[in-house]
Amino acid sequence: MYLQMLNRLLLLSLLVVVAGADCLARESGKPNIIYIMADDLGYGDAAPFGGQQCKIPTPGMSRLASEGMRFTDAHSIASVCVPSRLAIMTGRYPWRINGIGQSGPWGYIAPRFKPGSHTLAHMLNDAGYKTGYIGKWHLGLSMVTTDDRPQQIGNVDYSMPVKAGPNDHGFDYSFILPGSLDMYPYVYLRDQRFLGNVNKRRGWSAFNRVGPTEENFEDYEVLQTFRGEMHEFIARNANNAKQGRPFFLYLALTSPHTPTSPHPDFKGKTDLGVYGDFVYETDFCLVATMEALEKHGLDQNTIVIFTSDHGPAPYAGNVLEATYNNVKGLEKMGHYPAGPLRGYKFSVYEGGTRIPFIIKWPEHVEPGSTCRRLIGLNDLMATLAEIAGVTLTSEQATDSISYLPLLTDPLAKATRHNIQIQGTHGWAYRMGNWKLCLCPGSGALGVHGNVPKPADAWVAAVKEFGGKPTREQLLAAPFVQLYNLANDLAEQNDVSKQHPKVVEEMFALMQQQFNNGRSTPGPRLENDRATLNYWGRIPPGILAP
């Protein structure tokens, strides 16, 4: 009898403990997640990273850094928009993936990845998240046309919904621009339907790309519009989030990408001119998001991540027209958008790919902490999968590595040891502190300010080499560059001649990761592409016959 009573008491106690744990799990639940990504925001545009070289107040970024963790060696996968965003959405290197259909110009690009592809949104849907996408899409859409030609000016039926947009890729809600703020058509889409009447043609400052425009569209109202959508999304999902049904919001800003067009309320807010004002308004989007979370009592159970898609544009600055080396005008005023780094958007240098990255996760991330380990934007999917309790299959997010251990211990062993990065005219590879550039110049065309320009760099390399190289001879100085970022963050001392074995080892790893169809452990997979030209577009007449 005593033993039976004791067993009943033990069972009752166990049920109480289990019930209590289950109640705690429901109360705390999975964290809400907000991922905010600026467009063309440089490492030095963020005060917590630029330090004395940043002359723009960024109170939102500064607050987030004081309440969370800075990653000082975070990288985009490419120094231009589309491939960087593709890596975030799929957890795969973008050069493994082929899009579908023929593209029209600018915002009329065709889908960059196939319907049915596993995405960040699909993964979080599986974990019970309500998902939303607000902002710049730029991953391609399939528009209904009035003829058989690729979508372009004059043949799109704006009364019909599009395909291959955010909702088709797993997002429960979307409010987007098709491309960048200076890429027509200038019109919003909600849940993949065009809003308003696209019955005008306009262009904006910078490149003045004149194209189809919704009749009431104004460039300076875009960030304000996105902030309003952000507020509504959080408000709609607040009660459910408190009851254990979390949300994920991807907020893709269009700034400070050109046209440099701050809202009138933000003009004159900085001492740096219109570029400074635009960055300040970009930062305010982060401020507004954190205030919205506090308003709804969600700030303590929400992860907030802020970053950029790549480095700053050399053609952007206080001259509204896109101008060669416009960025130098800001540097003369003491503000360096790339901070201490070499190069800008389009290049393979650090200024093109190293980005500000801050994450806040109350009770998990130590406030004011800094992590100096290497991470990539493609690592978001594996990290959030681990946080959300999702087990990825061997064929999902095959180039994504979780940095969750670093969030609780920034000095923990690095989770990522190498990463591949694209410029527009060259390739780069990180292995520890080594940085290999598979080109003799900036890896950018150079029409906006990156130097050395490929045309000049290749000619100089051939002259130094003493003749035209064969393709096999390209894997050596002077056709490659090697830097040790541990003591040469500014990439001023090319040591490729001194370390040819390091160059060979790094290139062999690059090829192995391509051939395996993945850079993470697992079975070999097929890429969409059979080969990859790591040297990009070599000027004609450079190689030996």
Share of the chain above pLDDT 90, in %: 92
Quote the CA–CA distance of 411 and 407 in Å, as a whole number: 9
Max CA pair span of the chain: 98
Name the band, by pLDDT with cuts 50, 70 and 90, for residue 21.
very low
Of 5-14, 152-161, 200-209, which gets the smallest average pLDDT?
Answer: 5-14
Q: What's the pLDDT at 533?
A: 87
Number of H helices, E strands in the chain: 13, 16
Per-residue pLDDT tens digits for 361-394: 999 999 999 999 999 999 999 999 999 999 999 9
Confidence of residue 530 (pLDDT cuts 50, 70, 90): confident
* Average pLDDT rounded to a whole number, residues 121-142: 98
Please give the pLDDT value at position 20. 34
Alpha-carbon dihedral sign for residues 257, 369, 405, 74 = positive
Q: Note the pLDDT tens digit of each residue in 416-469.
A: 999 999 999 999 999 999 999 999 999 999 999 999 999 999 999 999 999 999
59-79 per-position pLDDT tens digit:
999 999 999 999 999 999 999
All residues at 6 or more sequence positions from 52 whose CB lies less than 8 Å from its CB, including other chains: none
- Asked if the model's pLDDT at residue 25 lies above 60, the reply is no
Are 289 and 32 a contacting pair, CB within 8 Å?
no
* Interval 174-189 mean pLDDT: 98
pLDDT tens, residue by residue, 515-529: 999 999 999 999 998
pLDDT value at position 258? 98
- Sheet of 427-431: strand order equals 418-422, 427-431, 434-437, 481-484
Q: What is the mean pLDDT of the chain?
A: 94
Task: Provide the pLDDT for residue 83.
Answer: 97
d(CA 542, CA 124): 48
Give the start-end residues of each E strand in 99-183: 130-136, 173-177
d(CA 154, CA 161): 17
pTM: 0.94
Statement: residue 353 has pLDDT above 90: yes
Alpha-carbon torsion, ordered 391, 397, 398, 402, to 10 deg: -70
What's the pLDDT at 212? Answer: 98
pLDDT for 125 equals 97
pLDDT confidence of residue 115:
86
pLDDT of residue 9: 35
Question: Higher model confidence: residue 531 or residue 117?
Answer: 117
Which pLDDT score, from 0 to 100, does residue 165 have? 97
Mean pLDDT within 492-516:
97
State residue 18's pLDDT score: 32
Q: What is the pLDDT of residues 232-259, one digit of tens each?
A: 999 999 999 999 999 999 999 999 999 9
Structural domains in the chain plus CATH codes: 29-417 (3.40.720.10), 424-516 (3.30.1120)
pLDDT value of residue 537 = 84
pLDDT at res. 325:
98
Confidence tier at 1 by pLDDT (50, 70, 90): very low
Comparing C-alpha atoms, which of 235, 238, 244 is closest to residue 28?
244
Mean pLDDT along residues 46-70: 98
CA dihedral 231, 237, 239, 243 (to 10 degrees): -140
Average pLDDT over residues 502-515: 97
Kindly state the average pLDDT of the residues 192-216: 97
pLDDT given at position 354: 98
- For residue 35, give Cα distances in angstroms to 50, 133, 252, 290, 386: 21, 10, 8, 12, 16
Does the pLDDT at position 2 exceed 70?
Answer: no
Burial 130-151 (b: 16+ CB within 10 A, else e): bbbbbbbbbbbbbbebeeeebb
Q: Look at residue 117 in the predicted model and tell me its pLDDT.
A: 95
